[in-house]
Structure 1
């Protein structure tokens, strides 16, 4: 079987998902083409050798519709050889794009491809596709679908986490992200867009006192009927404690990320030394009400398939879908702060749905190189109880 390797990785900064955000003037298509140009410039890539462009995108309507991967390939001048496909695994779309592309390389379906993701939440807002999972009340009640924030509070209640514990994690990730920027941790892969050369959502002045003063973010939503749906579909608890706030929830962002993935033969032809081997990936699903534990399940599965344990993993890049899920992950996998999201995570730097997973895989490779580690895992939990994880192994130089 052919191995699949990460040859290079680029990403945009994460901009605030707001009309006032620094990336709001740039469409999702703009962001992807900008990275395609950067990838060619820094690697000397012959675009005629690219077999496919695989992008994750969660809201595939309006500016993000009509197969944005193919549109970007054409607009970037990559000719007719890169077909382009856009996939939707909700928030896990980007990491799934990487996993699927690597699997196709291993199956000799591809030699060289670009995988990644994009989301401009400020221009194409969450839930704008108005799918039945969000808008059809009969469907919602039949399958027990609830808002992610309700699922987060349900998980916090199930595990008995306190508000203070959630806030402490929220502070930790902000301080890590601020330190990472000061240390230049993202310098190798970050491609500025206009004047934005950093993740603009990080709040280095965050304090525990400030977090403690924030009101619960999802109590009103729960009282409006969401708690009843959750408790009706999941009888594990009798009530839900609403503990998460905007400070312990992922911030919405605009961003894109691309990874160049190929076989050893393709890497040699391109004159690019492989940076990491993509060992494997796992895709899982869980109860759609509990929802946000699937990313952890995927991590456990991909590690076990490789014959490894949590102790073998040097870096965990785990999408911060609310504090409670991060605390559970840390507890269950014994993943301390030095190994889990060492440079902060999506609660601090922002969550750009389709792009986040690709950013995490690339960040994992970057961090393994920074610390000389061997194995890293990137994982994301998505809506409807979906989760995807990718395991990588650094190639020692």
Structure 2
């Protein structure tokens, strides 16, 4: 007998503020503590729900080692005070880890293997550097047919800029607009519903008294957006990945720290526990592309995600296209004919930051709340992925 698939509903979606790495507000805050905070907040937004009813937590992380190792998903579940019966698994699809975690949680619900799941992502680029603490590549990656796998992300952006003829001026203008939109959204308070404040505790030895001075402060705002960003100031920066290139630190995403979490349940669970759905997770798609032009990945994932959701691209009302680099974002927008007004209306990773494995979950929270705030129907989270992939997930307001 064929089992009928059921829908997966998002009943809470939240994230931490995003800190700059490596010297920002979370540079001494452990990633598992950030994850604990959003898991607890996501559950608090479903009042009366018994956490023991949750089957599993699927958490994305791009470099799951050191402070974010030891299966950080399971560690955070226990540290958050959930019953020991709740499982936890950490998954890695680089920049798409968070949205893949959400898709996997939704799949467990769709096929009837679970009725309540936690999905999310976490990354501390302050504590765990890009490439990890001990990168070790297979030497076959440097052979002619595989060398694109060994390219740094910045070099892949240069390849896209060249092949798609994206000028330095266009990249800088895109970056400035990202900051402008982010600042405007912050000033309007648009991020408040999706953001869980985090208390930062600082402990400093007091040499005079021999004691430890403890200070606490609460942060609730992303710290990457800059009101003073201008095309003129960005034009002064030198390229950082190729001597005669066009990709700079300012038209690339920021290294960041942060976490996000969503609670996903079945329709039966909604009814039995009198929960109000915020949205439905409609579809997910992944496509591979040549690693040396990994930034173009969303161009191929987006059509597949739309087809799976039964909609056309024009029906998308809100698009969170992760700005790994302005060059790749512009190439995707241009090739697919996306409406720039619908793409990152509140700024993207260039202004707000990109905590790798957390970004998909963070931007999913943005989409969920933006659809409700603006009375829109369909939203999407999409990004390019290292080693040559694109991923896209579609969320429907209900």
- TM (norm. structure 1) is 0.91
Which one of the candidate residues 129, 139, 144 is aligned to 2:141? 139
Contact 2:158 2:242 in 1 (8 A): no
Tell me the CA shift for residue 107 of structure 1.
0.6
Q: How does 1:332-351 map to 2 (within 5 A)?
A: 332-351=335-354
Q: How does 1:48-197 map to 2 (within 5 A)?
A: 48-132=52-136, 135-141=137-143, 143-144=146-147, 145=149, 146-194=151-199, 195-197=218-220
* Larger helix proportion of the pair: 1
Q: Deviations over 1:21-67 (max 9, x none)?
A: 11112101100111122223332231101111000001011111111
* Larger strand proportion of the pair: 2
Which one of the candidate residues 222, 244, 249 is aligned to 1:246? 249
CA gap of 1:309–1:332, structure 2 versus 1, over 3 A, is farther
Q: How does 1:171-250 map to 2 (within 5 A)?
A: 171-194=176-199, 195-220=218-243, 242-250=245-253
- TM (norm. structure 2) is 0.90
The alignment partner of 2:119 has SS state of strand
Quote the Cα distance in structure 1 between the aligned partners of 2:44 and 2:369. Answer: 19
Contact 1:6 1:275 in 2 (8 A): yes
How much is the aligned-residue C-alpha RMSD, in angstroms?
A: 1.4
Segments of structure 2 that go 5 or more residues without pairing to the other structure are 200-217
Quote the Cα distance in structure 2 between the aligned partners of 1:119 and 1:103. Answer: 23
Tell me the CA shift for residue 337 of structure 1.
2.9
Tell me the CA shift for residue 304 of structure 1.
2.2
Tell me the CA shift for residue 136 of structure 1.
4.3
Which residue is equivalent to 2:311? 308
The alignment partner of 1:32 has SS state of helix
The alignment partner of 1:39 has SS state of helix
Segments of structure 1 that go 5 or more residues without pairing to the other structure are 221-240
Which residue is equivalent to 2:328? 325
Tell me the CA shift for residue 295 of structure 1.
2.5
Tell me the CA shift for residue 129 of structure 1.
4.8
Quote the Cα distance in structure 2 between the aligned partners of 1:270 and 1:66. Answer: 33
Tell me the CA shift for residue 371 of structure 1.
1.4
Contact 2:10 2:265 in 1 (8 A): yes
